[in-house]
Chains A and B, each alone.
Chain A
């Protein structure tokens, strides 16, 4: 290694050190240091020429529920959808070994029982710390009630987990009289665009007037992807130019939705890693601008991939801090991943899971059911 490089690094240490030493204590002094929200001056900020904004109206006939290419009939949808979580999860379940079969088979509760429970929870991405907290609580209850049957122990554990997930209101904000605005946020590749498409299909299928806004102006062809969803389900579609300021696109989308008296505006945003402060600032601005637009922002949904590990917690923390997340959409739960990190997110941040994604078609986005989720998490079939 070149000697000057070593010395240079010391220089960097110095620069970084001084910066850090000055900045960090200053930060500690409280909210006064928060940068004041910048006034939103749309004309000045929007680099998108007005002409480049496309508002594509879909012929009214397409918006009719029976013209929707998916089989989801408005009335039949809830009944047809319900058993699916169980079914789809069962498929995932059958491919992995049941950790807990031996727990039940053992006949009593001993240390290996607890070890296996711990392993099951950790392997489901619940996290080591929360797992010991949960098991300590269950162990206390088991001791207090003198439980010796492993089946009963599992019931206690299941009840504990379910109760944790049921603590907050999981229902989606009902669509009001005006134009409701939902914002979808999350890191790259979790399925935000797909979720916007599925949500749009669901509400358009129920007869609502839906506008999809392609707020992801960064990823190549993200708008095209969303447009295909909009075409398929007969929603309106608003986009800006590639590389346009997402805030302005979202604002225009909401404005267009309100002008057409739409029931729901679904705004997609570009995926961003939560440790990129400039991108999180951009998202903060999207949120601020959406609040200033004429509609009401009633949901900010954090889309989270079920395969996400412990990093999900820090994703949830940072996105909530930036945009006031109202709920989590847990996608790709039809794979072998269990999505246990949502337990930690719920426990630590109080953000409930509202929706679950179980596949690629429009009807695969369903309401979250804590009990069924817990059952799948613990990997115990009905017949166990």
Chain B
């Protein structure tokens, strides 16, 4: 089955624990696992090979022998190497002193250029710019129509060939692109985004065409749009495009799928172009600057806490959340609070997606698809309780249970299970709150990371071993 990188690292970590020292044989075995994990995440073959060479060198070198916790050290080395590959500053967009700033969008068919062009236009608009979208994809039927619809949604004008020319299918995209620059000057538009037709990187004729578009528009930024689900070929494609176009950066699309984005990491490493933007959903607003470290965390399965926090900021009422969190720590968190929190969490998007962003979630949970409909069932059960019952679930006896079950269309066994799990987690959180004492903020952070990658050996030993099995138990019983 499909195991994510982090699941594999879990396995590696477990096997390593107990080894005081790592011999070469153990290191080799671990590297083999890492290799498989990276390849399954679609990291390019060549990149994997080079990465492993570097990791091996550091592992068998002095670095590891001095480590108190060799297993942890290996994980840290892998992590830092991945960050190094992805890393670097996010691309900073600067604007031409002589407007317009021209942005050229290129890529394979179906990578999402047209949608991304519109999203980019929206982003520029949010930066206080006045973009002009250019429909230079005269090849795919209705591509310009698609661009016009999207542009209308973001309130940006579109320049393209006349309708009859588009319909004839013989329009000249180079002429359209050239005309667009003049049009932008005339209209006082300071950013021009040129959407080009999808093309294969081995199609010499079409590559020449996009080269000519580049010549006439002299773009300040040439972006390659890459689908996050792309496999080993991503690197070949990027290299070919870079040869014709002198790319500035990559825009990663469909990152909201469950692909682990190894292709993107490879493009960065082999072609040396940063990932400037990432598109994470079908809505035009689901698009932002790319944060390399977040993808590294995602590839490693550490979750994406920063994105989660951003979402939470949008969805939660600060004071309310703080109060609820305080009650949570004191153990006075009730089903009523739980219901309240659940409403807010729901605003952040599908629960299944959020679980994926949480670090240290046991893989049984992460891999299980959590359907929002089932969340609704839980909600129905809680809503079928009286306020008194929600505050004190202990008072729920057999007949109340039956009433709740009937009221919510569940079985009494399901009601039972909800109550049992809630009590269990409540007890756990209470103990956690007290046990953490004055340092609870810091510890709170560690506990969700489950210590797998905490750099310092001591805290890893403290948290990594003890806490997680407890978290796991109630679910597996």
Cβ of A98 under 8 Å from chain B: no
Contact A91 B230 (CB under 8 A): no
Q: Is the CB of B110 within 8 A of A21?
A: no
The stretch among A12-20, A40-48, A106-114, A282-290 that forms the contact with chain B is: A12-20
- Whether B110 contacts A305 by the Cβ 8 Å rule is yes
B471 touches A17 (CB 8 A): yes
Known contacts: A191-B110, A225-B140, A309-B230. The answer to whether A10 contacts B41 by CB under 8 A is no
Contact check: which of A7, A92, A228 meets B322 at CB < 8 Å? Answer: A7
Contact A221:B149 (CB < 8 A) given known A8-B316, A189-B111, A335-B233: yes
User: Is A188 a contact partner of B110 (Cβ separation < 8 A)?
Assistant: yes
> Which of A55-63, A78-86, A122-130, A261-269 is the contact stretch?
A122-130
**Stretch from A141-149, A151-159, A251-259, A273-281 forming part of the interface with B:** A273-281
A334 interface residue (CB < 8 Å to B): yes
Note all chain B residues with C-beta closer than 8 A to A292: none
Q: Does A1 contact B (CB under 8 A)?
A: yes
User: Which listed residue, A9, A23, A187, A194, touches B254 by the CB 8 Å rule?
Assistant: A187
Whether the Cβ atoms of B324 and A229 lie closer than 8 Å is no
Q: Contact check, A335 vs B263: say whether CB atoms are below 8 A apart.
A: no
Residues of A within 8 A of B463 (CB): none
**Residue in contact with A12 in the complex, picked from B352, B354, B421, B476, CB distance below 8 Å:** B354
Q: Which of B64-72, B363-371, B388-396 contacts A (4 or more CB under 8 A)?
A: B363-371
Question: Given that A16-B354, A24-B364 are known contacts, is A224 also in contact with B234, CB under 8 Å in the complex?
Answer: no
Q: Does A11 interact with chain B (Cβ within 8 Å)? A: yes
Give the complex CA separation of A229 and B328 in angstroms: 59
Q: Is the CB of A127 within 8 A of B368?
A: no
**Secondary structure class of chain B's binding surface, majority of residues:** helix
Our pick among B148, B234, B313, B422 for the contact of A307 (Cβ within 8 Å) is B234
> For A22, what are the chain B residues with a Cβ–Cβ distance below 8 Å?
378, 417-418, 421
Closest to A96 in B: B236
Query: Which residues does chain B contribute within 8 Å of A371, judged by CB atoms?
Result: none
Write the chain A residue with the least CB distance to B39.
A128
Selecting from B19-27, B78-86, B91-99, B338-346, the interface stretch reads B338-346
A18 near B421 with CB under 8 A, answer yes
CB atoms of B231 and A16 under 8 A apart:
no
The reply on A173 being an interface residue by CB < 8 A is no
| Nearest CB in chain A to that of B318: its residue | A4
Among A12, A25, A222, contact of B308 (Cβ-Cβ < 8 Å): A12
**A332→B341 CA distance, assembly (Å):** 46
Please determine whether A12 and B358 come into contact, CB atoms closer than 8 angstroms.
yes
Alpha-carbon distance between A74 and B473 when the two chains are bound, in angstroms: 65
Among residues of B, the one whose C-beta sits closest to the C-beta of A315 is: B229
B414 — which chain A residues lie within 8 A by C-beta?
Answer: 26
Q: Does A35 contact B (CB under 8 A)?
A: yes
A315–B42 Cα gap in the complex (Å)? 15
Chain B 295-337 residues near chain A, CB threshold 8 A: 305, 308-309, 312-313, 316, 318, 321-322, 324-326, 328-329, 333
Contacts A187-B254, A338-B233 given; indicate if A224 touches B425 (C-beta within 8 A): no
* Contact indicator A336/B237 (Cβ below 8 Å): yes
Interface centre among B257, B345, B355 (most CB of A within 10 A): B257
The answer, yes or no, to whether A3 is at the interface (CB within 8 Å) is yes
Task: Judge whether A308 and B230 touch: CB under 8 Å.
Answer: yes
Within the complex, the shortest CB–CB distance from B36 to chain A, in Å, comes to 5
Is B244's beta carbon under 8 Å from chain A? Answer: no
In the complex the two chains form, what is the Cα distance from A22 to B42 in whole Å?
Answer: 33
Kindly list chain B residues whose C-beta atoms are within 8 Å of the C-beta of A52. Answer: none
A27 is an interface residue with CB less than 8 A from chain B = yes
Select which of A95, A96, A228 is within 8 A of B141 by beta carbon.
A228
- A7-B40 contact in complex given A25-B475, A335-B233, C-beta closer than 8 Å: no
| Interchain CA distance A7-B333 in the complex, whole Å | 13
Q: Which of B226-252 contact A (CB under 8 A)?
A: 227, 229-234, 236-237, 240
Alpha-carbon distance between A310 and B4 when the two chains are bound, in angstroms: 11
CA distance A13 to B303 in the complex (A): 12
Residues of chain B lying within 8 A (CB to CB) of residue A334: 200
A259 to B370, CA, bound (A): 42
Identity of the chain A residue whose Cβ is nearest the Cβ of B440 in the assembled complex: A7
Known: A274-B258, A309-B263, A332-B110. Contact between A341 and B236, CB under 8 A? Answer: no
Cβ of A102 < 8 Å from any Cβ of B? no
- Per-residue CB proximity of B85-113 to A under 8 Å, as 1/0? 00000000000000000000000111110
Chain B residue contacts of A306, Cβ below 8 A: 233
With A10-B448, A13-B448: A119-B233 Cβ-Cβ less than 8 Å = no
Expressed in whole angstroms, the minimum distance between the Cβ of A23 and any Cβ of chain B is 5
CB <8 Å contact, A23 and B372: no
Contact status B112-A5, CB under 8 Å: no
CA distance in complex: A278, B375 (Å): 13
Residues 197 to 213 of chain A near chain B (Cβ within 8 Å): 197
> Of residues A189, A221, A275, which shows the largest number of chain B Cβ atoms within 10 Å of its Cβ?
A189
Min CB–CB distance A314 → chain B (angstroms): 6
**Residue B435 at the chain A interface, CB threshold 8 Å:** no
Residue interface mask B435-463, A partner, CB < 8 A = 1: 00000010011011000000000000000
The distance in angstroms between the C-alpha atoms of A6 and B325, with both chains bound, is 9
Interface membership of chain A positions 177-196, coded 1 if the CB is closer than 8 angstroms to chain B and 0 otherwise: 00000000001111100100
Q: Specify the main secondary structure of chain A where it touches its partner.
A: helix
Chain A residues, CB < 8 A from B254? 187-189, 273
Contact of B345 among A16, A25, A27, A188 (CB under 8 A): A16
CB distance from A230 to the nearest CB of B (A): 10
Bound complex: CA of A274 vs CA of B361, how far in Å? 21
A334 to B307, CA, bound (A): 38
Complex CA distance for A227 and B112, rounded to whole angstroms: 21
A384 interfacial by beta-carbon distance below 8 Å:
no
* A14 CB to nearest B CB, Å: 6
- The CA-CA distance from A245 to B475 in the complex, in Å, is 38
Is there contact, CB below 8 Å, between B109 and A191? yes
**Given that A16-B345, A21-B474, A277-B369 are contacting pairs, would A311 and B146 also be in contact in the complex, using a CB cutoff of 8 Å?**
no
Does A313 reach chain B (CB closer than 8 Å)?
Answer: yes
A96 vs B229: C-alpha distance in the bound complex, in angstroms?
A: 21
The residues of A that contact B371 with a CB separation of less than 8 Å are: 23, 277
CA distance A221 to B149 in the complex (A): 7
Known: A16-B345, A275-B257, A277-B372. A336 touches B233 (CB 8 A): yes
* Chain B CB within 8 A of A220 CB: yes
A52 to B128, CA, bound (A): 39
Asked if B60 is at the interface (CB within 8 A of a chain A CB), the reply is: no
A: residues with CB less than 8 A from B are 1, 3-27, 35, 91-92, 95-96, 119, 122-125, 127-129, 187-191, 194, 197, 218-222, 224-225, 227-229, 273-278, 305-315, 332, 334-338, 340-341, 360
- Additional 12 contacts, C-beta under 8 A, given A21-B365, A219-B146: A7-B444, A17-B425, A18-B421, A20-B370, A24-B364, A24-B475, A25-B417, A122-B39, A128-B35, A229-B141, A336-B240, A337-B236
Cross-chain pairs A/B with CB under 8 angstroms, 28 sampled:
A7-B322, A9-B308, A10-B444, A11-B324, A12-B345, A12-B358, A14-B328, A14-B341, A15-B345, A19-B375, A20-B355, A21-B425, A24-B370, A92-B202, A122-B45, A125-B232, A189-B111, A220-B146, A221-B143, A221-B148, A224-B141, A224-B145, A275-B353, A277-B369, A305-B229, A308-B231, A309-B259, A311-B257
Chain B residues at the A interface, C-beta cutoff of 8 Å: 2, 35-36, 39-42, 45, 108-112, 139-143, 145-146, 148-150, 200-202, 227, 229-234, 236-237, 240, 254, 256-260, 262-263, 282, 305, 308-309, 312-313, 316, 318, 321-322, 324-326, 328-329, 333, 338, 341-342, 345, 350-355, 358, 361, 364-365, 368-375, 378, 414, 417-418, 421-422, 424-425, 429, 441, 444-445, 447-448, 471, 474-477
8 cross-chain pairs, A with B, having the tightest CB-CB distances, nearest first: A309-B231, A189-B110, A220-B149, A309-B42, A7-B325, A221-B146, A337-B233, A228-B141
